[in-house]
């Protein structure tokens, strides 16, 4: 099961409650290659809409990068490049992603992939000067938006 389906299900079924007022800044979403294009090719379904929907359950102000979905640009660290020694090439690759992000004017970027998040948060922000943009995993955004309700004690008694 995909994390996107799971998060969507929790929200739709009311199993978790989210507070939209916590993340009020303009927010954008990065399509990881693996959940999008490659998922579409390998499994017949690209996860484009589900994570956008989840993001927008947490954030009121949302903006798209261009291009996006199946035509989105890779962060530059996929395919093992984050762990490979070609640092200069990886940063060069990421210039396109950095420009896409900066062009949106968003102050919060959501990435549901470890590689993409690390490349953008730990490398591109510094190299291309957009440290003012915060980067979160999709599940981090959801966890930070949670309204925790006290557990019913009945089952413990």
User: CB of residue 6 vs other proteins: minimum separation in angstroms?
Assistant: 6
| Secondary structure of residue 82 in the 3-state scheme | coil
Choose one: 2-10, 22-30, 51-59, 124-132; the region binding other proteins (CB under 8 A).
2-10
Residue from 77, 108, 111, 133 touching other proteins (CB under 8 A): that is 77
- Asked if 22 touches other proteins (CB under 8 A), the answer is no
- Asked if 6 touches other proteins (CB under 8 A), the answer is yes
Question: Rounded CA gap, 82 and 116, in Å?
Answer: 9
**Pick 35 or 130: Cβ nearer other proteins:** 35
Site residues, other proteins (CB under 8 A): 1-3, 6-7, 10, 15-17, 33-34, 37-38, 41, 70-74, 76-81, 83-86, 89-90, 92-96, 113-114, 118, 137, 139-140, 142-144, 146, 148-149, 151, 156
């Amino acid at each position: 099961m995909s994390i996107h389906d799971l998060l969507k299900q929790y929200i739709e079924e009311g199993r978790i409650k989210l507070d939209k007022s916590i993340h009020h800044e303009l927010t954008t979403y990065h399509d990881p290659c693996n959940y999008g294009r490659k998922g579409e090719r390998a499994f017949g379904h690209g996860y484009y809409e589900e994570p956008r929907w989840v993001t927008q359950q947490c954030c009121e102000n949302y903006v798209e990068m261009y291009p996006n979905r199946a035509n989105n640009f890779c962060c530059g660290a996929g395919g093992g490049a984050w762990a490979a020694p070609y640092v200069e090439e990886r940063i060069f690759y990421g210039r396109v992603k950095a420009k896409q992000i900066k062009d949106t004017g968003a102050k919060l970027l959501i990435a549901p992939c470890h590689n993409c998040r690390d490349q953008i948060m730990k490398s591109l922000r510094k190299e291309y000067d957009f440290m003012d943009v915060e980067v979160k995993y999709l599940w981090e955004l959801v966890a930070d938006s949670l309204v925790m309700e006290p557990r019913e004690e009945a089952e413990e008694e």
